[in-house]
Amino acid sequence: MAITFTRHTDDGLAQATDPGTPRMELVHLACHRNHEVRGAVAARRDCPLATMLALVHDSHLQVVESLALNPSVPRVVLEALASHRRESVRTLAARRLRYMAEFA
Q: pLDDT tens digit string along 58-69?
A: 999 999 999 999
Residue 1 has pLDDT above 80, yes or no: no
pLDDT digits (tens, 9 = 90+) for 7-59: 456 889 999 999 999 999 999 999 999 999 999 999 999 999 999 999 999 99
Q: What per-residue confidence (pLDDT) applies to 104?
A: 73
Q: What per-residue confidence (pLDDT) applies to 80?
A: 97
Per the CB < 8 A criterion, the answer to whether 88 and 95 are in contact is no
Q: What is the secondary structure of 70-102 as a DSSP string?
A: -TT--HHHHHHHTT-SSHHHHHHHHHHHHHHHH
Its sign, for the CA torsion 12, 39, 34, 23, is negative
